[in-house]
Structure 1
Amino acid sequence: MTTVLLALSLIGLAAEGPAISLFDGKTLAGWVAEGVVDDVRDGVKHPVWVVEDGLLVCHGKGFGFLRYKDREFADFTFHVEFRMAPGCNSGLGVRTRAFDPEDSRGTRPSFYSYELQLMDDAGKPPTTHSTGSLYRYVAPRQNAAKPAGEWNTLEVTCDGPRIRVTLNDKLIQDVDQSRIDAIKDKPLRGNVCLQNHGGTIAFRALEVRELKAEPAKP
């Protein structure tokens, strides 16, 4: 049982059924690239999002997202493992929607819902723009990111208005959005996505577990 799921069991919540795998290690089935989707190198067009050696890799040119389009989630734990190259800037979107470049401000996760920032900033003080932040809204309790080149494990649990984030076995966010004016009206359901914002990043073990309340004890 993962750290976050153990914590959930201790506060009266449980995962519903087995994990839902979002990545088969071979294809981008279920995902859609939005925003900048191609990069031209040496006169040849290459996709920004690719599968390489069983990993989902973003080569970080331009600005856009890879959104899991096949399903929306309300209350869930999203598990992701990621490895950044030096200088990387990326993120995870939760409870988000399709990205429209014509309405970038209104449809990107960091405005519409939440972006969990991922960037090459290990060892730097936590801010509202550092790894693990609810970008521009809430700084993490600490910067628990590992240096570029090392694998990180992140789990974000969305349970009604409560957002909990664990990075490398450290609880870095435990927020009730209903108590914070700037985020109290954020949606409670939507897609998950990955961000392209510059620099190479690899992902693996992408999965979601939906939550359900435990029956009340007599």
Structure 2
Amino acid sequence: MFFFPTSSPAKDSPSVFLSAFLGAVILAVCLAVCVVAVPLAGAETAARPKPADDGFVDLLNGKDLSGWVVEGVKEYKEGNESKPVWLVEDGKILCTGKGFGFLRYEKPYSDFIFRVEYSMSKGCNSGIGFRTVPFTGPAATRPSFASYEIQILDDAGKPPSKHGSGSLYRYLAPKTNPTKPAPEWNVLEIECRGPRIRIMLNGQVIHDIDQSTIPELKDKPLAGYFCLQNHGKRIYFRNIRVKQL
């Protein structure tokens, strides 16, 4: 607020012009500060966006296999040296494809959205198990028997089948086969809500089922573990994330 003299000086008095001039200058400065301050505040906000919390958790720390359990063949011989079948390389999980087995995440899940990307080697055969049990050796503890395995196969362009890429292995063929050939990256999403299972591969829905309505599947467990399969071929996995529902 600005205060001006209450007395009434002569019309042409210098004090009248001086007061008017000073008032105009102060008002102009205040307006300029306001005009500049508002864009700056907006720019600062835009420069520091808050990261969105989408509820997903990374299951791979990018450094080692903490939180994961190797099942089946753990090491192989190269000369006189023992080497791991599963390892982390450049922030990705690498299955060297020696022997047979699984890499299982240690925490079980029931209802969830699971996402993973994978890059196959030529002629690759692998898979991703979900809602499964620990593998102890017998076939009954493999995901495709105990629960579910999404088949990973380097069969781009081939018609869908119960044993082809994207199948619920041995049970259901996918609606389509959108698999990209090796070594391109494929993106898989598995969503489970009770008996409802919805699976997408490279942005296309390949399964959308209610297991309670399918005789072969109605008794499959509604909770269990995620696992990655070693079926004798090299394959990379990255961006392994899950959101518990």
Q: TM-score range by the shorter chain?
A: 0.7 to 0.9
Structure 1 length normalisation: TM-score? 0.86
Following superposition, the deviation at residue 17 of structure 1 comes to: 5.9
Residue in structure 2 matched with residue 42 of structure 1 by the alignment? 79
The 4+ residue runs of structure 1 with deviation greater than 3 A are none
Q: Write the mapping of 1:63-212 to structure 2, written as runs, cut at 5 A.
A: 63-69=100-106, 71-101=107-137, 104-211=138-245
Aligned residue-pair number = 193
Following superposition, the deviation at residue 97 of structure 1 comes to: 1.3
* Residues 114-141 of structure 1 deviation map (CA, whole Å, 9 limit, x = unaligned): 0000111111111011111100000000
Following superposition, the deviation at residue 44 of structure 1 comes to: 2.0
Q: Write the mapping of 1:1-20 to structure 2, written as runs, cut at 5 A.
A: 18-20=55-57
Instruction: State the secondary structure of the residue aligned to 2:219.
Output: coil
Structure 2 length normalisation: TM-score? 0.77
Instruction: State the secondary structure of the residue aligned to 2:220.
Output: coil
Following superposition, the deviation at residue 92 of structure 1 comes to: 0.4
Report percent identity of matched pairs.
Answer: 55
Aligned-residue RMSD, C-alpha: 1.2
Gapped regions of structure 1 (runs ≥ 5): 1-15, 212-218
Instruction: State the secondary structure of the residue aligned to 1:111.
Output: helix
* Residues 83-138 of structure 1 deviation map (CA, whole Å, 9 limit, x = unaligned): 0010111100100111101xx22111000000000111111111011111100000
Distance in 2, matches of 1:24 and 1:119, equals 26
Following superposition, the deviation at residue 41 of structure 1 comes to: 2.0
Match of 1:56 among 68, 93, 102: 93
Structure number, greater radius of gyration: 2
Tell me which protein shows more helix as a share of its residues.
2
The answer to which structure, 1 or 2, has the higher relative contact order (CA under 8 A, 6+ apart) is 1
Letter matched to residue 188 of structure 1: L
Distance in 1, matches of 2:192 and 2:79, equals 43
